[in-house]
Structure 1
């Protein structure tokens, strides 16, 4: 895990110190673990896909 200055998570929007950077977007450790543990049939899954897609969209914009 990469430790950063307090950044806002792209999933939960809260500020955290521990997490990872994906194409310059910050993903907190808690959300990372939740995403990895979420089944594709879970109601949260489409939200995670959408938020991660926003990272790619911003990168290509």
Structure 2
């Protein structure tokens, strides 16, 4: 059985196979789900914003 290589998530830095690509940056489906369900008042929301700003910096 052949294993797929996967991509490195810009949020959690783990290699995952399922997720989305925004511009040229990969976000795994676990982080995508957590981002979508995090309230803007939650402290973790700012962490996600910080990590996602890498998309603008790298492109």
TM-score (norm: length of structure 2): 0.88
- For structure 1, the residue ranges without an aligned partner over 5 or more in a row are none
Greater C-alpha Rg: 2
4+ residue stretches of structure 1 with deviation over 2 A?
none
| Structure showing the higher strand proportion among its residues | 1
Superimposed CA distance per residue, residues 10-52 of structure 1 (whole angstroms, 9 cap, x where no aligned partner): 0000000000000110000000000000000111011100111
TM-score (norm: length of structure 1): 0.86
User: Alignment RMSD, CA only?
Assistant: 1.3
The count of corresponding residues between Structure 1 and Structure 2 is: 56
- For structure 2, the residue ranges without an aligned partner over 5 or more in a row are none
Q: Which residue in the other structure is 2:22 paired with?
A: 22
